[in-house]
Amino acid sequence: MSLEVVPIHRHPEYLHDCCKIINQEWKRSESARMHSLQQSNDNLPTSLILLKDKVVIGHVKLSVIPSIKTACFIESLVIDKSLRGNGFGSMLMRGAEKSCRALGLKTIYLSTKGQEQFYRRLGYTECSPVSIYGNFMSSISSNLFKRNDEKSKEMHQVETNTRSAPPPPPPPPTSPHNTEAKTNRKTYMKKDL
Ligand SMILES: CC(C)(COP(=O)(O)OP(=O)(O)OC[C@H]1O[C@@H](n2cnc3c(N)ncnc32)[C@H](O)[C@@H]1OP(=O)(O)O)[C@@H](O)C(=O)NCCC(=O)NCCS
């Protein structure tokens, strides 16, 4: 069995198959996916694929964090559904870490909702949230949030003025298993290389 981690921009013949694997997990139009994958280059962003006997079985993207030049953000890690649990995800993450070291990066950040244990096994620890947007985007988005917040306050006022509040919804059922996956919050994690 041959296994290799390669950057997609050096192997454009795998673009369509790579789209399919990512879309197994997160549905998005093929053109939007292709556009994102075609941004891959020798610096950042870089999309890496895992090839098993020359067939794409996984993908991971390393993105820029504008505010931290010595770090990158790992996103869209996915292994073909039928092949999970065989160590391929760990192998692709190790390949991603090797690429980051080659770029001179010192830290990897990521966020997850449910795969915390997988990343912990690879040495990632929980950390404060990082923004993958630059200051420019942050200020735009914070203004947008402010505007939306004001709008929602106005709407809330109209609503509360016109009708009485409905009773609160019942609490969600709790399960002792996999509680991390059930919370709505993302966990940010990091690893120093
Ligand atoms: C997360 C994912 C990439 C892991 O790939 P994989 O090939 O199944 O992972 P591995 O086989 O390398 O797993 C390594 C170890 O972590 C364990 N593991 C994998 N996923 C796990 C999870 N969700 N929770 C706990 N342990 C997990 C495996 O059992 C294995 O343990 P072992 O070494 O003791 O056998 C894969 O499950 C996937 O594509 N998931 C859907 C997309 C996704 O959630 N991506 C992450 C976005 S943050």
| Any domain includes 146 | no
Whole-number pLDDT of residue 148: 52
Q: What is the pLDDT of residues 32-87, one digit of tens each?
A: 999 999 999 999 999 999 999 999 999 999 999 999 999 999 999 999 999 999 99
| Any domain includes 164 | no
Q: What is the pLDDT of residues 2-15, one digit of tens each?
A: 999 999 999 999 99
| Any domain includes 107 | yes
Please name the residue whose Cα sits nearest to atom 29 of ligand 1. Answer: 85
> Would the CB of 88 count as within 6 Å of ligand 1?
yes
Q: Give the closest residue to 101 by CA, choosing from 193, 9, 191.
A: 193
Residues contacting 54, CB < 8 A, separation 6+? 2
| Any domain includes 82 | yes
> Would the CB of 187 count as within 6 Å of ligand 1?
no
Question: How many helices and strands in the chain, by DSSP H and E?
Answer: 6, 7
Task: Determine the structural domain holding residue 56 and report its residue range.
Answer: 3-133+184-192
Q: Determine the distance separating the centroid of ligand 1 and the alpha carbon of 84, expressed in angstroms.
A: 7
Q: How many domains does the chain have?
A: 1
| Any domain includes 81 | yes
| Any domain includes 59 | yes
| Any domain includes 179 | no
Q: What is the pLDDT of residues 152-172, one digit of tens each?
A: 444 444 333 444 456 677 766
| Any domain includes 170 | no
CATH number of the domain at 61, please: 3.40.630.30
